[in-house]
Amino acid sequence: MSAAQRIQSVCECQALLEAELDEQGLVLHGWARRPGGAKERAPANSVGHGERFDVAWQCPLCGRNTLRSFHSAK
Ligand SMILES: [Zn+2]
């Protein structure tokens, strides 16, 4: 029933970055996790709408701002 979309990428520090987006493409939650580690909240923002959008995470594990491009499934 939920239209939320889950995306993920990998930070340069090897943390797994994940975010959940609503149907408008806005970030609902962002988090980061080291391999085998616990989830930590990571501030994340989406930029752009439509078929192509970017998501920027601030990785809580290394402090980098990590920007990744995604294509919507539509
Ligand atoms: Zn990182």
Does pLDDT of 32 surpass 70? yes
**Spacing, Cα 37 to ligand 1 middle (Å):** 13
Residue 43 in contact with residue 57, Cβ under 8 Å? yes
**Spacing, Cα 68 to ligand 1 middle (Å):** 13
pLDDT at 23: 85
Does pLDDT of 14 surpass 90? yes
**Spacing, Cα 32 to ligand 1 middle (Å):** 8
Give tens-digit pLDDT for 37-64.
Answer: 999 999 999 998 778 899 999 999 999 9
**Spacing, Cα 65 to ligand 1 middle (Å):** 8
Burial call 33-55: b when 16+ CB within 10 Å, e when fewer: beeeeeeeebebebeeeeeebeb
Half-sphere exposure in the Cβ direction for 38 (13 Å, CA): 2
